[in-house]
Amino acid sequence: MSEGEVKVLGTWASPFSTRVRIALHLKSVNYDYLEEKSLESKSELLLDSNPVFKRIPVLIHGDNKPISESLIIVEYIDEVWSSGPSILPCDAYQRADARFWATYVDDKFYPALKRAVVSGSEETKRASMAEVEEGVAMLEKLSKGEAFFGGYNIGYLDIVIGSVFEWIKVIEKCNETQLLSQAETPCLLEWGARFSSHEAVKDVLPGVAKLAGFGLKLKAKI
């Protein structure tokens, strides 16, 4: 697969863009990454490729075939490049369970993470931190002490959780608090280290310091 046949429209700070790139790396797919310079002034390619929601990420495959929404894109990658390692579980129940937790991350956990960083309201921040702490505890139990949420290898849920994991550390940095510890979340800490150092992941994650700077700028803007 040559680079020109697959394109990804995204931004470096978006966890949704990050998960698409990790999935492509896992499948050893060459692609062109096109960074959107500003989401306030969106490129014509983005507007043409995702005219309904007008947002990143978008994967363009082959002859102008755009696919939008990160979870849908990751499943598409898994189906199209089937010769690589499987991303979604083969078992129907495990697949449904992974999709459930992915929805939880996108609909509840990540929004709480973001609010905890950018909110100027102390009341909102306290409520968000309570949601984050609850979520971290659930993810610790969900990991079951295995190497990855997908078992021995990175899978669907690893990609979804891993794409927002650095935001937990951003909260720790910005709010001078501790959410991850060897005493309370040993499995999540070990998983995070394994995930972040994986060949398919390490060059895609933005890094806590850079992400914290982005969060502070976003807070000032809001």
Would you give per-residue pLDDT tens digits along the chain (222 residues)? 444 599 999 999 999 999 999 999 999 999 999 999 876 789 999 999 999 999 999 999 988 899 999 999 999 999 999 988 999 999 999 999 999 999 999 999 999 999 999 888 899 999 999 999 999 999 999 998 889 998 899 999 999 999 999 999 999 998 889 999 999 999 999 999 999 999 999 999 999 999 999 988 888 877
Task: Write down the pTM of the prediction.
Answer: 0.94
User: What are the chain's domains?
Assistant: 3-80 (3.40.30.10), 92-221 (1.20.1050.10)
Q: How far apart are CA 127 and CA 2, in angstroms?
A: 47
